[in-house]
Structure 1
Amino acid sequence: MHPISMADYDEKVEQLLPVYDDDDDDIGPINGINDFAKEFFIESKKLWYLAFPAIFTSFCQYGLITITQVFAGRLGTTQLATVAVQNSIISGFPYGIMFGLSSALETYCGQAYGANQFKMLGTYMQKSWVILYAMAITAVPLFIFATPVLKFLGQTPSISTEAGKLAIWMIPQQFAYASILPSSKFLQAQSKVAVIAVIAAVALCFHAFFSWFLVLNLGWGLVGAALVLDGSWWFIAIAQFLYIISGACGETWSGFSWKAFQNLWGFLKISVASAVMMSLEVWYVMALTLFAGYLDDAEISIDAFSICINILGWACMVAIGLNVASSVRVSNELGSGHPRKARLSVLVIGMSSLLIGLFFTLILIVTRKRYPAIFTNSSEVQQIVEELTPLLGISMVFTNVQYALSGVAIGAGWQTPVAYMSTVCYFIFGIPSGVLMAYKFKMGVQGIWYGMVIGLCLQTCLLLWMIWNTNWNKESYAAEERLGQWRCETHTEETS
């Protein structure tokens, strides 16, 4: 068999386009602004039906980390810096990989669910569990030897020692992540986002109470904070698992199967491409936090930087919810053979994320003299955070749009090209620019943050260019071919 040429591929796709154009379930011809407004409103309802619970979930889960940081800040600047370094560097490195590995399920499960291949979802989730638990085991030495690792990376001895002690207590959290991430993607692909939100809300309430009780009331300090954080994540993991096996997911869960270990290498290759794409964003922040620790007055610099990152993360919880909604909508519609609906979803999600980013930036600018006091009692840290606020606002706009567009890329299965783009934007332009401005031009933390803005801006612009030039009919055909390949692999495994 001769390989198909690009010209033959394009011709084959064009022959299929009338099939998509005549599909009654796709969007009909749009004549005028009234038709467009009607379709825009319909798609907006579908997106926000998914996005609202996903946003709420993101706020609750991010709130677990934020509450821990708030209580750590009440213990002192060293404790706050310890939590920031441990969370962003030691825990952040393996989490970034696992988050990326699990994002392959958004393509696999989303497109399979759209094509009514329900039984494939449970198998894919179990494959992802196997891969992520193996990753969690591999990461254990990093936590055990966190102190020498941080010292090698140039962190101060006091922060490295305390972060190393804290890291030992945070090992169980990584295994909770390995369970939560695949099960969340599995449920999201079926639009079962409300149950995830309810579980996250209950976990947040327990986390807030027990953080106060153990950290401040009983005086257990950072050890108490770590125990509560571990327990909160494991509560989420167990609750989601019990919901899945309860029968509420219908045909998508039919029990454990040895198929999870079959063709694992093929699944791993796709997962690795997803991991590179998503991990680079987490590692980008991790690297910038690391360089902030090399500045003069390292504790103050890290505290200010971590507070701004925390605020940025809170604002981006909306974008993460939109990221989930866009990946589900795009993957479902491409799997169903509805390219125009997928394209309209992209337009709605892009406009929504831009407006939300601008709204949060306005709030930030108005409250710039007050919000730093929520996180720290140090006047020096508060002053630096206030000076960083304009850059933080710009970052909010770009990050919101970038996260939303990344959801489109995941839903369409573009992980590999986007991974290359992220590498160039973040590590060829972003980090070197930040380091140059921070150290060469003596701009300190502001210089590092300028580097972040440069990387985010480039990544957002390239994603916009990529989406603008996309032929969604071809993407729908590619999804059909991808599902056909998966079905063939599954059939081969069953008959072998």
Structure 2
Amino acid sequence: MDNGLEERERLLGFEEQERNDLKQRIWKEMKLTWRIAFPSILSRIASFGQILVTQSFLGHVGEIELASFALVQSIFLRFVNGILLGMSSATETLCGQAFGAGHYHMMGIYLQRSWLVDCVTATIMLPVFIFGTPIMNLLGQQKDIAETGGVISLWLIPFVYNFVFSLTIQMFLQAQLKNMIIGWLSTASFLLHVLMSWIFVSELDLGIAGAMGSLNISAWLNIIGLFVYIFCGWCPDTWKGFTNAAFTDILPVIKLSISSGVMICLELWYNSILVLLAGYMKNATVAISAFSICLNVSAFQLMIFLGFLGASCVRVSNELGRGNAKATKFSIKVILTISACLGVICWILCLIFGRQISYLFTTSEEIAEEVSKLSVLLSFSLLLNSVQPVLSGVAVGAGMQSTVAFVNLGSYYFVGVPTGVLLAYVANLGVTGLWIGLLGGIVIQTIILSFIIWRTDWDDQVNKASQRLNKWLLKPSEKSDRSSLNM
């Protein structure tokens, strides 16, 4: 009997120790998650906040300027940003796995390769902005919106090139847990943009030129700060200077970048297509403005959860690089739980303050009423935004971008867009029908991604990561031989 009691006490003690160990593991993973996610959240909110501030100031210039910027930003800028963001996510996969495997010298090479690929891609995309007015006329938009949009699109050209460096550098620093500098610089850039916008638009009455000039200046000052941080010795292990090695083995990077680009583009263009469809409604100015306001609120909240996308990508890629499948699965569970809890909070806040949101962007009661009708659907979009980015981040960290691309294609373009069109134009639900279609596509995508990640063999993913890294690995001495310039 005494032996039975001793055995029971031993088992209870073992269970207690396991619970304590689990608590410590969860706490450690939470700290790692927030260490990666918080600076990324600051950066993404500040960067997207610059777009919202610009739209807000233009909205107080006039309704045509608001609708034109909404159209250009939602279609042209989102179109190109989607391509560059997707192409840049190859940097996230490669740098994260290289850091986990201890191949630090390769991270700077991957960064330079991504600069080359993204810079060429951005240049190819320039005609979209140069011929903004003809394109919008071709798409059947109102003449005054198309003409004003053409002026705004030309101002966005310098802003597009800032994406080439900001997106890739963020992923480079994030992979090595040095992204706090990104958060601080982005926040400073945002505050500067608010100040300059107020001076240029409200005080000097420069209109479109003032708002767009402020956007470009603040964005490029942020890039200059990041260059100083990398080039002046704060990344001694991962930045060894410019090298000819950046031009070698670039084709596999292009292939991974293209699959990443398709994955992200199909997602971002989905929203853009729905904004474009809103432009064909009877009261196009109100429809575009209301839909765009809700879309921007959703996108602004999404910036928070894109921080968790970055965290999930870094944690998954780091652990796969280290060869630890068990830790990979544990990280996914912890990050999903944190993100989902925050999503519930956003869902509740949107249900409470749905109508008041519109007054941040416009004084029009007609637009505010249309936004109010969408507030319940918007709240559920905010809830889904807390889960879907984490699942995408897991896929990026594992290098499964091509799989997600097919999921996005089916969910958004075979389900979401047709549903939105039918409800908006056949069932006469207007922008509400478009948003129901948008929400339906996201629901389908979230369910499929959840199933894919649940069924993934993470031991197999460890092997694939090891093969990828070894295939592209250059020895430090080999890299030095190919160097052309050190900084």
TM-score range for the pair, normalised by the shorter chain length: over 0.9
AA of the residue aligned to 2:418: P
- Asked if residue 65 in structure 1 is aligned to residue 51 in structure 2, the reply is yes
Which residue of structure 1 aligns with residue 287 of structure 2? Answer: 301
The within-5 A match list for 1:21-420 is 33-420=19-406
AA of the residue aligned to 1:440: V
Runs of 4+ in 1 over 6 A off after TM superposition: 488-496
Which residue of structure 2 aligns with residue 484 of structure 1? Answer: 470
AA of the residue aligned to 2:247: F
- SS in structure 1 opposite 2:307? helix
Task: Assess if the C-alpha contact under 8 Å between 2:423 and 2:429 holds in 1.
Answer: yes
AA of the residue aligned to 1:113: F
Compare 399-408 and 105-114 and name the one that shifted more.
399-408
AA of the residue aligned to 2:148: E
The Cα offsets for residues 25-46 of structure 1, whole Å up to 9 and x where unpaired, read as xxxx998554433322221111
Which residue of structure 2 aligns with residue 13 of structure 1? Answer: none
- SS in structure 1 opposite 2:385? helix
1-structure distance, mates of 2:438, 2:18: 41
Percent of aligned positions that are identical: 37
CA distance 1:490–1:460, shift in 2 (3 Å): farther
2-structure distance, mates of 1:134, 1:489: 28
2-structure distance, mates of 1:185, 1:315: 20
Task: Assess if the C-alpha contact under 8 Å between 1:357 and 1:400 holds in 2.
Answer: yes
Shift in Å, 1:495 = 8.8
AA of the residue aligned to 1:448: L
1-structure distance, mates of 2:477, 2:424: 56
2-structure distance, mates of 1:265, 1:489: 19
CA distance 1:307–1:74, shift in 2 (3 Å): same
The Cα offsets for residues 56-94 of structure 1, whole Å up to 9 and x where unpaired, read as 111111110111111111112111111111111122211
The Cα offsets for residues 159-181 of structure 1, whole Å up to 9 and x where unpaired, read as 11100011111111111111211
1-structure distance, mates of 2:22, 2:454: 18
2-structure distance, mates of 1:226, 1:472: 46
The Cα offsets for residues 91-132 of structure 1, whole Å up to 9 and x where unpaired, read as 221111011000001110000011110110011111110111
AA of the residue aligned to 2:290: A
Task: Assess if the C-alpha contact under 8 Å between 1:409 and 1:415 holds in 2.
Answer: yes
> Which one of the candidate residues 418, 421, 434 is aligned to 1:432?
418
Task: Assess if the C-alpha contact under 8 Å between 1:51 and 1:322 holds in 2.
Answer: yes
1-structure distance, mates of 2:481, 2:225: 35
1-structure distance, mates of 2:307, 2:474: 33
2-structure distance, mates of 1:258, 1:37: 47
- SS in structure 1 opposite 2:103? coil
Structure 2, unpaired ranges of 5+: 1-14, 483-487
AA of the residue aligned to 1:395: S
Shift in Å, 1:145 = 0.6
Which residue of structure 2 aligns with residue 441 of structure 1? Answer: 427
Shift in Å, 1:371 = 2.3
Shift in Å, 1:389 = 0.5
* Number of residue-to-residue matches in the alignment: 468
Which residue of structure 2 aligns with residue 423 of structure 1? Answer: 409
2-structure distance, mates of 1:462, 1:406: 11
CA distance 1:223–1:177, shift in 2 (3 Å): same
AA of the residue aligned to 2:464: A
- SS in structure 1 opposite 2:31? helix
Which residue of structure 1 aligns with residue 5 of structure 2? Answer: none
AA of the residue aligned to 2:153: A
Shift in Å, 1:338 = 1.4
The Cα offsets for residues 352-375 of structure 1, whole Å up to 9 and x where unpaired, read as 221111110101111123222121
CA RMSD of aligned residues (A): 1.8
1-structure distance, mates of 2:316, 2:273: 32
Shift in Å, 1:241 = 1.2
Structure 1, unpaired ranges of 5+: 1-28
Which residue of structure 2 aligns with residue 19 of structure 1? Answer: none
2-structure distance, mates of 1:243, 1:491: 25
1-structure distance, mates of 2:185, 2:478: 38
AA of the residue aligned to 1:319: F
CA distance 1:488–1:261, shift in 2 (3 Å): closer
Compare 330-339 and 482-491 and name the one that shifted more.
482-491
2-structure distance, mates of 1:153, 1:379: 28
> Which one of the candidate residues 451, 461, 468 is aligned to 1:465?
451
AA of the residue aligned to 2:401: Q
AA of the residue aligned to 1:112: A
- SS in structure 1 opposite 2:386? helix
Task: Assess if the C-alpha contact under 8 Å between 1:177 and 1:233 holds in 2.
Answer: no
AA of the residue aligned to 1:251: D
CA distance 1:139–1:30, shift in 2 (3 Å): farther
2-structure distance, mates of 1:32, 1:187: 35
AA of the residue aligned to 2:341: L
- SS in structure 2 opposite 1:250? coil
